[in-house]
Amino acid sequence: MGVQKLKIAAAGLGRMGKRHAINFLHRTPRAELVAAFTPDEAETQWAKTNLEPYGVRLYDDYDAMISQEGLQAVVIATVTKVHAEEALKAMEKGLHVLCEKPISTDVSICRKVVDAAKAKPHLKVMCGFSRRFDSSYRDAYEKMDAGVIGTPTIFRSQTCDKHDPSPFFLEYSAQNGGCFVDMTVHDIDLALWFFGDNLIVKSVAAAGVAAVQTGLRDLGDCDNAVGIVEFWGGKIAYFYNSRMMAHGQEDTTEIIGTGGKLVVNGNPQANLVNTYTSAGIIRETPPHYYGRFEYAFVTESNEFTAAVLDNTKVPLKLSNAIRVVEIGSYLQEALSTGKKLYFNEAGQRVEQPRL
Amino acid sequence: MGVQKLKIAAAGLGRMGKRHAINFLHRTPRAELVAAFTPDEAETQWAKTNLEPYGVRLYDDYDAMISQEGLQAVVIATVTKVHAEEALKAMEKGLHVLCEKPISTDVSICRKVVDAAKAKPHLKVMCGFSRRFDSSYRDAYEKMDAGVIGTPTIFRSQTCDKHDPSPFFLEYSAQNGGCFVDMTVHDIDLALWFFGDNLIVKSVAAAGVAAVQTGLRDLGDCDNAVGIVEFWGGKIAYFYNSRMMAHGQEDTTEIIGTGGKLVVNGNPQANLVNTYTSAGIIRETPPHYYGRFEYAFVTESNEFTAAVLDNTKVPLKLSNAIRVVEIGSYLQEALSTGKKLYFNEAGQRVEQPRL
Amino acid sequence: MGVQKLKIAAAGLGRMGKRHAINFLHRTPRAELVAAFTPDEAETQWAKTNLEPYGVRLYDDYDAMISQEGLQAVVIATVTKVHAEEALKAMEKGLHVLCEKPISTDVSICRKVVDAAKAKPHLKVMCGFSRRFDSSYRDAYEKMDAGVIGTPTIFRSQTCDKHDPSPFFLEYSAQNGGCFVDMTVHDIDLALWFFGDNLIVKSVAAAGVAAVQTGLRDLGDCDNAVGIVEFWGGKIAYFYNSRMMAHGQEDTTEIIGTGGKLVVNGNPQANLVNTYTSAGIIRETPPHYYGRFEYAFVTESNEFTAAVLDNTKVPLKLSNAIRVVEIGSYLQEALSTGKKLYFNEAGQRVEQPRL
Amino acid sequence: MGVQKLKIAAAGLGRMGKRHAINFLHRTPRAELVAAFTPDEAETQWAKTNLEPYGVRLYDDYDAMISQEGLQAVVIATVTKVHAEEALKAMEKGLHVLCEKPISTDVSICRKVVDAAKAKPHLKVMCGFSRRFDSSYRDAYEKMDAGVIGTPTIFRSQTCDKHDPSPFFLEYSAQNGGCFVDMTVHDIDLALWFFGDNLIVKSVAAAGVAAVQTGLRDLGDCDNAVGIVEFWGGKIAYFYNSRMMAHGQEDTTEIIGTGGKLVVNGNPQANLVNTYTSAGIIRETPPHYYGRFEYAFVTESNEFTAAVLDNTKVPLKLSNAIRVVEIGSYLQEALSTGKKLYFNEAGQRVEQPRL
């Protein structure tokens, strides 16, 4: 008897959508990519070459695709603003959903999706924070969990992109919710993972500048920002995001405990080569996040597939996706108003700091 | 119209055979694993769980397998001593062959296979030296090729395995041809790649000890050995192999040129985590070569497949496989006799050094 | 004709005082340590063995020491609370002064010392921030100054000490002004050095915990704290201090510019040894700041001496010492009140953020 | 009562001589540099500025200098060919001797000096191999001695200099004894230190090229050479020396034991700065050996001084200096003849390898 495979469709074939489609097509043995949707002509051409010959049916209409006979799941990698709507429609059709982060840059919309998922508990609905699937982060988590660093107390994490001077970037930025919502959500998600996701925020402060992408100023956004999120119970996370790196992608995390610390990617590197010349010893770095996290995305596809086929829990709680966007929005507010935000032990906004 | 896939069979399902089978089954989009052979009961059980459900037909007879209707190629990962015979039989059946290194520990047997392949030029026959498919080695090669280090002159390379105290190891050693033929062949292959494969050997010297695997002494072999291979034309390669590493796998290569040098894996690491405790800052290393070279093997499967389907050259010349074993055998002879070997500019053995 | 040497006295022979005394005695060729003062019996015994045989006269009275015939300068390394008084007395006697940081934890007292120094412009008065004399920081500064990283924009710096569980620590903490004033002043001084010392603070925010030195809570202090200092003109510094490191001292700084970044001590290390065992690859770190900065202190002694003898500028402006303590105090206030502090473009405190 | 200081004279004020003179003058608290000799006019001018003002008497005649009233010791850093003669004369005058390596490039001359020293056992006579005084090598030695790596078995060590295209170099090479005697002696000395100095050589093999300093060919020397020294008892050392490094000085050593390994300077670095630009992450290296070993020389001065004043053993056995040059000469012979050298268990040359 043959292997049962998950029949999945890919929505969106942009930069990240193509990768998800290929990963489900070629790198997820228990899945079968049966359909793909894109409204875009160039992306359709790409799909005719790269997907169709492997038996993937192409659509320019999302609703038509999710009605395909026998379809069981959909991976959503369209533009952020339609994530929620597409996820809701898929759930209505009884499909399992893997949605690119974030569900929405708006907390209330995130909540709608989470509520809809709660109403259909037999469906697996996951919002993909790729770093949770990275083998280095997992190794660090296991070491922390085994007590190697005592009680985790301080969390430092940064998402730093290589400077992209192309016009694409500003266009993208106009709808991404701001640097903390677009970039730091990854670091916030990691903080919740390593600290435990039942933490209550105590205060939020931030500062930022638009140093090289000066067009961001008109959008009220920054290309370099730092923020501190203090939690009740004696834990602190601090963050840095940047779109200004000259050398490449540099996403680094430190988990500092009472008995030691773990550092993930303290020495970014593209591969294992060092070049010794009269300029010194040179190490190159990955040019972008997919250079760093490619295999994490492959693990994500496989684990989502396994959770559906084996009816086990998905590795990430969907409700986390709300909290991450919520904290990201707090940081964004702290950044744009210049004010520090305070919360009481119940997590409610208050006017003055509680000590 | 669908994609044409290469129908390939896997011979041998031991440690490395399983990996090749899985790579062709799940990680080589243009290939289809249709058959597998093993005479071993435990391996057959593994195959029933991991291969059969995906449509792979299992055999306990090699000849039967290579007669399967429609089969186009075979990947050979059985024990070394049958590599050559199986390769020859496959070629007789008109099959393309990807053979694990070495074809044989005996140079004259290697030559027979190479000759047979020459007689059937429409067949793709490749002996897999995995490091040629590793992205770091390829990056180093491209940099050298671009002139970054001037003329490559000195080549240092080591294959160092984690100490394996299990009885398996000695059993394996008895038939692997000795430490230079079993391990250093990888480094020799790299030397020929980086220096150019038309080099003539000028002298060979070696020394070794059996320090922890003392049982090797009865086999005339060592668990630590160093060797120098001097080439005509002013190039020198020096090698180290060890089966005694406490920390893990450490395969390191330096290519030293007149204007700079390239180092591959100067700082071995299992992943991107560093652990800071009262013991210091700790970095773990891969426990074995597959931890280091897994993706190189995947690339190998894919490139072999592409060469067959697209009828292009395989990335490695088969004749190299002879030269590598030949130089390995020289080193082994220099090790076991304690003598230095000398060659004239035509590559013939001579009694006294030519300067 | 012989060399003219600076006749200098050492005030205080505690941990740091001993080091200054030895540095002026043995490692500062143009200086001659002629006197030393300590009120402490154990320190006096140490001095009888280590200083007196080299012709250093010992005192248990500071006033008597600074009256010694022919004395030209004094290095002050007593407890912080008497720094200012001793510096003022020395200046009254016409002595040049090298004072350990900080002059005082109280900004107004710092100001008195600076004013006194301004009134005697022929005297060299310097407050020693040791990192300014460290060869790595200087190399980073020169590279930044040469334009290697474009415009410096974001500054990350941390002072992290090895956890010292001895009772000494709490005693010391009670009078050190708090973690930002005691530790982060070094990082603030570096920020002013790299960013330029005419910057105006725009906002200050901080958060901290007392995780392992819980006794600090009664003192209103923390053993881990992070802070953000935003400057007018588009520059941001963020800081971390900790007394909880398991592995050793880790003072790291990143200067991030529009075209690159410089990292100082991104990989802390005690020396050039790596140990490879079954536990992994281990690198040790310095146990304390003197293990990291010993030669910076030697450079400091020598450059202070040269500035006096050659009547050139001291390498650090004394007025900076006020600004550093001032910003440190802002961070300490932000930490203890939980509030964010705001400043207008003239540097005056305001109630609401200016954007 | 004052401190008793060792009255020492410096012979030779060339590159290394200047450094020894300064180290004894300013960085060796228990020593007093009282005299210096150089026949060279430019060096004399340097000494008038840098030594004379501190009370150092200058000589252009070695014999006159060693006759100076009250002189107790001499540090010899003249050209190698006069080391032995000057050392012998100094011993005749009853002076302690610290001699730069090597005593001579000729083993029989080394032996004369050692014999002379044996005849005057009250004199301290030391040949300075600077790496023995380096804190990283010492830390590695202590770790090995504490059993961290089991039994040391394989020793890899290299002395690699930055390529110096100036004419100075060839001139210097003509009288330095060849690359193994001039450079690898340091590594041989380390091997004897780590392996134990009672080892008997079993075989020696070498190979080399003159790749960038082609003028060396006329001198029968190389600018890149590798060698293997096998010892009776199951230990092997292998060496590499080069004068071709583009990036800087790179002296690296690995001590590989049955239970682990120690690496000294696996990642050469000038300081703790890393520069991140669009070219990648760059680390600079020391330009020459003094950039790497400066503080080892200071330790050497201090320990030699202490051994004399306290009448304790000098840290290095003088007889080692013979063995090191002897093994260096074997390697040089193996290099120039192309032959492998064999020795029996008594250390005598034999024609055929003993197994």
Cis? peptide before A102, omega within 30° of 0 = yes
User: Of all helices (H) and strands (E), which one includes residue C235?
Assistant: strand C235-245
Query: Does B147 contact chain A (CB < 8 Å)?
Result: no
| Digit-coded pLDDT (tens) for D213-263 | 988 988 889 999 999 999 999 999 999 999 999 999 999 999 999 999 999
**pLDDT category, B343, cuts 50, 70, 90?**
very high
**pLDDT category, A146, cuts 50, 70, 90?**
very high
| Digit-coded pLDDT (tens) for A172-195 | 777 788 999 999 999 999 999 999
Read off the pLDDT of each residue in A291-313 and give the average, rounded to a whole number.
Answer: 97
Other beta carbons within 10 angstroms of residue A119's beta carbon come to: 9
The answer to whether D227 and D334 are in contact (CB under 8 A) is: yes
Matching residue, tokens 């489609």 = A21
Q: Report the C-alpha gap between D216 and D239 in whole angstroms.
A: 20
Q: Report the C-alpha gap between C114 and C127 in whole angstroms.
A: 10
The answer to whether C284 contacts B281, with C-beta atoms less than 8 Å apart, is yes
Query: Does B242 contact chain D (CB < 8 Å)?
Result: yes
Matching residue, tokens 């047997």 = B109
- pLDDT-above-70 percentage for chain A: 99
The strand pair at D235-245 and D152-162 is best described as parallel
Identify the bridge partners of residue B64 per DSSP, sorted by sequence position: none
Q: Tell me, rounded to whole angstroms, the distance of Cα B6 from its chain centroid.
A: 23
The answer to whether B212 and D149 are in contact (CB under 8 A) is: no
Matching residue, tokens 């700041």 = C289
Closest to D283 (Cβ–Cβ): which among A280, A284, A285? Answer: A280
Does the structure show a pLDDT above 90 at B174? no
The answer to whether C47 and C20 are in contact (CB under 8 A) is: no
The half-sphere exposure of C119 on its side-chain side, counting CA atoms within 13 A, is 10
Read off the pLDDT of each residue in C238-267 and give the average, rounded to a whole number.
Answer: 97
Q: What is the pLDDT along chain D (355 residues), one digit of tens a residue?
A: 578 999 999 999 999 999 999 999 999 999 999 999 999 999 999 999 999 999 999 999 999 999 999 999 999 999 999 999 999 999 999 999 999 999 999 999 999 999 999 999 999 999 989 999 999 999 999 999 999 999 999 999 999 999 988 877 777 777 788 999 999 999 999 999 999 988 999 999 999 999 999 889 888 899 999 999 999 999 999 999 999 999 999 999 999 999 999 999 999 999 999 999 999 999 999 999 999 999 999 999 999 999 999 999 999 999 998 999 999 999 999 999 999 999 999 999 999 998 7
Q: Report the C-alpha gap between B294 and A295 in whole angstroms.
A: 12
Instruction: Tell me what pLDDT residue D128 has.
Output: 87
Asked whether the whole model's pTM tops 0.90, one would answer yes
User: Of all helices (H) and strands (E), which one includes residue A168?
Assistant: helix A168-173
Q: Comparing B14 with A218, which gets the higher pLDDT?
A: B14
Query: Does B281 contact chain C (CB < 8 Å)?
Result: yes
Query: Does A128 contact chain C (CB < 8 Å)?
Result: no
The answer to whether A143 contacts B271, with C-beta atoms less than 8 Å apart, is no
| Chain A 202-221, residues with CB within 8 Å of chain C CB atoms | 203, 205-209, 211-212
Question: Which one-letter DSSP state was computed for residue D133?
Answer: G
The answer to whether A273 contacts B264, with C-beta atoms less than 8 Å apart, is yes
The closest alpha carbon to D312, from D133, D33, D127, D122, belongs to: D122
Instruction: Tell me what pLDDT residue C212 has.
Output: 94
Q: Comparing A174 with A133, which gets the higher pLDDT?
A: A133
- Chain B residues touching residue D243 (CB < 8 angstroms): none
User: Of all helices (H) and strands (E), which one includes residue A325?
Assistant: helix A318-337
Chains contacting C (3 or more CB pairs within 8 Å): A, B, D
Read off the pLDDT of each residue in B252-271 and give the average, rounded to a whole number.
Answer: 98
Instruction: Tell me what pLDDT residue B307 has.
Output: 97
Does the structure show a pLDDT above 90 at B225? yes
The answer to whether C277 contacts B247, with C-beta atoms less than 8 Å apart, is yes
Q: Which domains does chain D have, with CATH numbers?
A: 6-128 (3.40.50.720), 135-294+324-350 (3.30.360.10)
User: Of all helices (H) and strands (E), which one includes residue D59?
Assistant: strand D57-59
Q: Report the C-alpha gap between A259 and A248 in whole angstroms.
A: 32
- Chain C residues touching residue A234 (CB < 8 angstroms): 209, 211
The answer to whether C207 contacts A205, with C-beta atoms less than 8 Å apart, is yes
The strand pair at A235-245 and A152-162 is best described as parallel
| Digit-coded pLDDT (tens) for A204-219 | 999 999 999 988 988 8
Q: Report the C-alpha gap between D151 and D196 in whole angstroms.
A: 11
The answer to whether C285 and C248 are in contact (CB under 8 A) is: yes
Please provide the average confidence, as pLDDT, over all residues in chain C: 95
Q: Which two tokens stand for residue B62?
A: 């090699």
Please provide the average confidence, as pLDDT, over all residues in chain B: 95
Q: Report the C-alpha gap between A139 and A262 in whole angstroms.
A: 10
| Digit-coded pLDDT (tens) for A14-29 | 999 999 999 999 999 9
How far from B180 is each of A3, B241, B279, B329, B346, CA to CA, in Å?
43, 7, 36, 7, 24
Cβ contacts of A213 within 8 Å, gap of 6 or more: A169, A170, A173, A223, A243, A244
Q: Which two tokens stand for residue C64?
A: 């008597």
Instruction: Tell me what pLDDT residue D96 has.
Output: 98
Query: Does D283 contact chain A (CB < 8 Å)?
Result: yes
Instruction: Tell me what pLDDT residue B355 has.
Output: 78
The answer to whether C207 contacts A337, with C-beta atoms less than 8 Å apart, is no
The strand pair at C252-257 and C260-264 is best described as antiparallel
The answer to whether B211 contacts D259, with C-beta atoms less than 8 Å apart, is no
Please determine, for the modelled complex, whether the ipTM score is greater than 0.90: yes
- Chain D residues touching residue A247 (CB < 8 angstroms): 276-281
Q: Which two tokens stand for residue D10?
A: 């410096």
Query: Does A273 contact chain D (CB < 8 Å)?
Result: no
Q: Which two tokens stand for residue A130?
A: 């790729």
Instruction: Tell me what pLDDT residue A93 has.
Output: 97
Matching residue, tokens 């760093």 = A292
Read off the pLDDT of each residue in B187-197 and give the average, rounded to a whole number.
Answer: 96
Minimum distance, in Å, between the CA of residue B230 and any CA atom of chain C: 31
Instruction: Tell me what pLDDT residue C175 has.
Output: 75
The answer to whether A280 contacts D247, with C-beta atoms less than 8 Å apart, is yes
Instruction: Tell me what pLDDT residue C220 has.
Output: 86
The answer to whether A284 contacts D280, with C-beta atoms less than 8 Å apart, is yes
- Chain C residues touching residue B265 (CB < 8 angstroms): none
The answer to whether B139 contacts A271, with C-beta atoms less than 8 Å apart, is yes
Read off the pLDDT of each residue in A161-166 and give the average, rounded to a whole number.
Answer: 90
Q: Report the C-alpha gap between B99 and B126 in whole angstroms.
A: 6
Instruction: Tell me what pLDDT residue A138 has.
Output: 98
Does the structure show a pLDDT above 80 at C172? no
Q: Which two tokens stand for residue C106?
A: 């109280």
Query: Does B266 contact chain D (CB < 8 Å)?
Result: yes
Cβ contacts of A248 within 8 Å, gap of 6 or more: A162, A268, A270, A284, A285, A286, A287, A288, A291, D280
Other beta carbons within 10 angstroms of residue B311's beta carbon come to: 9
- Chain B residues touching residue A136 (CB < 8 angstroms): 271-273
Chains contacting B (3 or more CB pairs within 8 Å): A, C, D
Instruction: Tell me what pLDDT residue B178 has.
Output: 93
For residue D234, what is the nearest residue in chain B, using CA coordinates?
A: B209
Between A135-145 and A185-195, two packed helices, what is the crossing angle to 10 degrees? Answer: 30
Query: Does A158 contact chain D (CB < 8 Å)?
Result: no
Instruction: Tell me what pLDDT residue D328 has.
Output: 97
